[in-house]
Amino acid sequence: MRKPDLMVSKDKMNNNNNNNNSNSNVKSKLRKGLWSPEEDEKLLRYMITKGQGCWSDIARNAGLQRCGKSCRLRWINYLRPDLKRGAFSPQEEDLIIHLHSILGNRWSQIAARLPGRTDNEIKNFWNSTVKKRLKTNNSTPSPNNSDSSEPKDVLGGILPINEHELMTMCIDSSSSTSSSSMQSMHAMVLTDQFDPFPMLTNRYDMTGATDNFPDMHACLNHVGMVDGLHGDYGILEPNKMGLESDFNLPSLESKSIENNSAPINVKSHNNHFNNICFNNTEQIQNSNVEDLFGFGNHGQGENFRMGEWDLDGLMQDISYFPSLDFQV
């Protein structure tokens, strides 16, 4: 995780680049490289108010000297309100390893099972951390630890998790917002009741960052995070920020989470604006795992052994998981 001063220095560099490039932009050159805060805000505001569409149009209409592709990447990997920042939890790490054993380097598919995480983030995490760790743990390279993009089975190998743990992790990490959340935020933005960019506004001054999130405190209370927000800018203490009531933020990963209704876990943000994550630990606590996954219906039950399946069969069976909507 980068330190705040790093981000500042990066942003300074960005601004310099921006300034330098702004001249060349006159010559209708598309900008490349790191995004400036101003660009972020433009894109974010546009996405919040107008919603998704053709990315090249978005780039143009938002007044950005960027190609649509770059805008899409920035939005997906950085600006999306439902992004979860910070280090991967051990559960997430296990889940990534497990899913990678099933899906291989299909990062987008893996990311779809880790709400709030992006494929890029997971890919970086894998390449920088997990791969190394697996290599360390298993000095003798096994097929499971190879870089191959082909799915491999690691059950019975390095992973200390069983099917229930996997399911718990899936549920735990399954995010949950409804499309109505986007609509409500959209409406709030349109009526100036809600500033979706507090960290843009308070980029280097986190002391007032959450003043713009008047409803964060309840969320923090709900998920037991009243101690504060831990981010690269330090620890934010919600009770010192005048946080009061509830608010909703949208998830764009509706395809995997749209049917859930979980509390919002407001965690932290290390960069431009607030991070929202949607861990739903209560859901699993209050639910019967077999009910959730339909084991009784599908006859997997205690005999559920992924390692014994071929990929096709696995995809077929795992598709029953509420948060595992494989598209293979």
Partner DNA sequence: AAACGTAGCAACCGCTCCCTC
Partner DNA sequence: GGAGGGAGCGGTTGCTACGTT
Tokens of 25: 């932009």
Quote the least distance from Cβ 198 to DNA, whole Å. Answer: 18
Which are the contacts of 295, defined by CB distance < 8 A and separation ≥ 6? 289, 301, 304
**Helix or strand or coil: residue 106?**
coil
CB atoms within 10 A of CB 205: 10
Binding span for DNA by CB under 7 A among 31-39, 221-229, 298-306, 307-315: 31-39
Quote the least distance from Cβ 160 to DNA, whole Å. Answer: 21
The reply on whether position 311 binds DNA by CB under 7 A is no
Which are the contacts of 177, defined by CB distance < 8 A and separation ≥ 6? 82, 248, 249, 250, 251, 257, 260, 262, 264, 278
CB atoms within 10 A of CB 277: 21
149 versus 207: smaller Cβ distance to DNA = 149
The reply on whether position 54 binds DNA by CB under 7 A is yes
118 versus 210: smaller Cβ distance to DNA = 118
Binding span for DNA by CB under 7 A among 128-136, 182-190, 191-199, 309-317: 128-136
The reply on whether position 135 binds DNA by CB under 7 A is no
CB atoms within 10 A of CB 53: 12
The reply on whether position 137 binds DNA by CB under 7 A is no
The reply on whether position 32 binds DNA by CB under 7 A is yes
Amino acid making up residue 272: H
Candidate residues 53, 141, 156, 294; the one interacting with DNA per rule CB under 7 A = 53
17 versus 221: smaller Cβ distance to DNA = 17
Which are the contacts of 59, defined by CB distance < 8 A and separation ≥ 6? 66, 67, 68, 70, 71
| Beta bridge partners of residue 231, listed in sequence order | 234
The reply on whether position 328 binds DNA by CB under 7 A is no
Binding track, positions 224-243, relative to DNA; x by CB under 7 A: --------------------
Binding track, positions 82-101, relative to DNA; x by CB under 7 A: -----x--------------
Give the CA dihedral 248, 250, 253, 259, nearest 10 degrees.
50
CB atoms within 10 A of CB 42: 19
Q: How far apart are CA 135 and CA 144, in angstroms?
A: 10
Tokens of 262: 């979980």
C-alpha torsion sign, points 139, 100, 311, 157: positive
Binding span for DNA by CB under 7 A among 90-98, 115-123, 156-164, 165-173: 115-123
Q: According to CB under 7 A, which residues from 167 to 196 bind DNA? A: none
Residues of this chain that interact with DNA (CB under 7 A) are: 1-3, 5-6, 9-10, 13, 31-35, 53-57, 66, 68-70, 72-74, 77-78, 87, 105-109, 119-121, 123-125, 127-129, 132, 149, 271
